[in-house]
């Protein structure tokens, strides 16, 4: 049995009931086969892949808080510190009722390679809780965040582990968590990113994931003889990533005709009005059912349906496994030329395979959504030098970083004989730097 297959088998056996984690590991290790085969003897002797798939540390804790009725509520908190070979652990905190160890481990594992691809000195980690922010009052959110940080603060720090936002964690939650960290540790330091601008946050961090997704998608299209100009785009999600993806797509001359939340989806033939979307989602924190009241020409549908709409480019920006084989077949039948993942692992393995076999350009999340964490790393730099960079400087740095990232993974794919396979290219390019650092630092 090959070394990769042996490790895959062990991962499934030793981590039962973690399907998302198995899925993420399998995708990465499968595409690393050409690299592993070249170094099989050394990697096996050093148990390199076993060390890569085993988190350095995983922390699970109780989060008690009191709701507005005086009832004590209990949630579970997680922080998985996966790999610190190239820098302090870095990755978001997800607040969603679906959160469990499998989801945090898949996200943390992906983060190792994503962070490496940015070219910046950040290791991989992820955390979160099964807390559901929906329907909670502002005070309940604050109480949860304070209790969560009371425990988490023991394990993080500006030079050790720097969390940020993810699903359910935005500027409001980061603010409450930062306040509690400062109160407990007495340190005003860059321990979280995605902070507000008045207390150490960076310009462009809010926009970074969505903007970065569009910069790299445009570069991929150009490299293949197309461009975003004049294209019709389908986006799923209506959160931080989706909103700024829609905004930048418009600025680059494309028209986005869909968005969605967990209840339903919107089709706007004239193009999603991003100001309306921000008003509904960022200001009012309401549901997409309201969109039609602002835009009478649009349609609202219950359930799932974004991928049935005819589009040139599809950008899944909601959550894992939201684009399946049937959706991929719809996209191919509708003539879609490119899919780029704004979310983490939104496309199922069968769907990725179908898209690639049918000639659709496919850019995986660890490359396509890396602009968010890259900008977080630049927020860390600004905090360390106690300076603040301009919007223009941040935006142009983000853009050139995404363009370089694309060419690096394109070159890595070519080097290993899988030209045009950007999944393999991203995994290989991300892996090479991490392995080099792990080898240099000995068996730890």
Q: Provide the binding-site residues for ligand NDP, judged by CB under 6 A.
A: 96, 98, 165-168, 209, 237-242, 261-263, 317-319, 342-344, 369, 372
Query: Exposed e or buried b for every residue in 13-27, given b needs 16+ CB within 10 A?
Result: eebeebebbbbbbeb
Tell which residue, 339, 396, 389, has the closest CA to residue 368: 339
Pairing mode, if any, of strands 255-260 and 264-267? antiparallel
CA separation, residue 298 to residues 162, 195, 246, 328 (Å): 41, 35, 16, 24
Residue 91 engages ligand 2IT in binding (rule: CB under 6 A): yes
Shortest separation between residue 284's beta carbon and ligand NDP, angstroms: 12
Interface with ligand 2IT: number of residues (CB under 6 A): 11
Tokens 């990697």 appear where? Answer: 43
351 binds, among ligand 2IT, ligand NDP, none (CB under 5 to 8 A by kind): none
Q: Which stretch binds ligand 2IT (CB under 6 A): 86-94, 129-137, 349-357, 430-438?
A: 86-94
Shortest separation between residue 165's beta carbon and ligand 2IT, angstroms: 6
Neighbours of 208 (CB within 10 A): 30
* Dist CA 364 CA 114 (whole Å): 10
Shortest separation between residue 279's beta carbon and ligand 2IT, angstroms: 24
Q: Both ends of the chain: CA-CA distance in Å?
A: 26
User: What residues contact 398, with CB distance under 8 A and at least 6 apart?
Assistant: 204, 208, 211, 212, 215, 371, 374, 375
Q: 376 to 415, contacts with ligand 2IT by CB under 6 A?
A: 376
Q: 287 to 346, contacts with ligand 2IT by CB under 6 A?
A: 344
Task: Output 91 or 305, the one with its CB closest to ligand 2IT.
Answer: 91
Query: Which one of 105, 126, 231, 304 is the catalytic residue?
Result: 126
List the beta bridge partners of residue 61.
77
Residue 372 engages ligand 2IT in binding (rule: CB under 6 A): yes
Residue 238 engages ligand 2IT in binding (rule: CB under 6 A): no
Residue nearest ligand NDP by beta-carbon distance: 239
91 binds, among ligand NDP, ligand 2IT, none (CB under 5 to 8 A by kind): ligand 2IT
Identify the residue among 373, 398, 434, 435 touching ligand 2IT (CB under 6 A): 373
Residue nearest ligand 2IT by beta-carbon distance: 92
Is 136 labeled as catalytic in the residue annotation? no
Query: Exposed e or buried b for every residue in 108-129, given b needs 16+ CB within 10 A?
Result: bbbbbbbbbbbbbebbbbbbbb
Spatial contact of 85 and 438, defined as CB atoms under 8 Å apart: yes
* Dist CA 423 CA 365 (whole Å): 9
331 binds, among ligand 2IT, ligand NDP, none (CB under 5 to 8 A by kind): none
Neighbours of 289 (CB within 10 A): 14
Task: Output 193 or 232, the one with its CB closest to ligand NDP.
Answer: 193
User: What residues contact 300, with CB distance under 8 A and at least 6 apart?
Assistant: 264, 265, 266, 288, 289, 291, 292
CA separation, residue 105 to residues 78, 112, 302, 391 (Å): 10, 11, 31, 33
228 binds, among ligand NDP, ligand 2IT, none (CB under 5 to 8 A by kind): none
| Binding-residue pattern over the window 263 to 282 for ligand 2IT, x denoting contact by CB under 6 A | --------------------
Shortest separation between residue 143's beta carbon and ligand 2IT, angstroms: 23
Annotated catalytic residues are 126
Binding positions for ligand 2IT, rule: CB under 6 A: 90-92, 114, 164, 166, 193, 344, 372-373, 376
């Amino acid at each position: 049995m090959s070394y990769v297959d042996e490790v895959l088998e062990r991962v499934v056996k030793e981590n039962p009931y973690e399907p998302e984690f198995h899925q993420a590991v399998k995708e990465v290790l499968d595409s690393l086969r050409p690299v592993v085969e070249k170094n099989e003897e050394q990697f096996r002797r050093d148990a390199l892949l076993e060390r890569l798939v085993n988190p350095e540390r995983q922390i699970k804790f109780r989060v008690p808080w009191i709701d507005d009725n005086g009832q004590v509520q209990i949630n579970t908190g997680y922080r998985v510190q996966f790999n610190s070979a190239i820098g302090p652990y870095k990755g978001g905190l997800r607040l969603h009722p679906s959160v469990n160890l499998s989801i945090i481990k898949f996200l943390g594992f992906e983060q190792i390679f994503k962070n490496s691809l940015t070219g910046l000195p950040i290791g991989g980690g992820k955390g979160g809780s099964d807390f559901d922010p929906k329907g909670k009052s502002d005070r309940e959110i604050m109480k949860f965040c304070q209790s969560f940080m009371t425990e988490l603060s023991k394990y993080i720090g500006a030079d050790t582990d720097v969390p940020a936002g993810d699903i359910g964690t935005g500027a409001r939650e980061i603010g409450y968590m930062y306040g509690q960290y400062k109160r407990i540790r007495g340190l005003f330091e860059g321990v979280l990113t995605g902070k507000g601008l008045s207390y150490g946050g960076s310009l462009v961090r809010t926009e970074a994931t969505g903007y970065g997704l569009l910069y790299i998608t445009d570069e991929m299209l150009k490299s293949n003889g197309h461009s975003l100009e004049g294209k019709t785009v389908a986006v799923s999600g209506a959160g931080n990533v989706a909103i700024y993806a829609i905004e930048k797509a418009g600025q680059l001359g494309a028209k986005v005709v869909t968005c969605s939340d967990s209840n339903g989806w919107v089709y706007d033939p004239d193009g999603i009005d991003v100001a309306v979307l921000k008003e509904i989602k960022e200001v009012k924190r309401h549901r997409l059912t309201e969109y039609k009241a602002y835009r009478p020409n649009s349609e609202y549908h219950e359930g799932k349906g974004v991928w049935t709409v005819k589009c040139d480019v599809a950008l899944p920006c909601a959550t894992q496994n939201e684009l399946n084989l049937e959706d991929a077949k719809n996209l191919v039948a509708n003539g879609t030329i490119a899919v780029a993942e704004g979310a983490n692992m939104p496309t199922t393995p069968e769907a990725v395979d179908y898209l690639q076999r049918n000639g659709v350009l496919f850019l995986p999340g660890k490359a396509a959504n890396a602009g968010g964490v890259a900008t977080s790393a630049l927020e860390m730099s600004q905090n360390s030098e106690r300076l603040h960079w301009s919007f223009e400087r941040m935006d142009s740095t983000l853009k050139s970083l995404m363009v370089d990232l694309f060419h690096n993974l394109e070159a890595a794919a070519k080097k290993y004989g899988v030209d045009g396979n950007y999944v393999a290219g991203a995994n290989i390019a991300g892996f090479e730097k991490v392995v080099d650092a792990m080898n240099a630092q000995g068996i730890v």
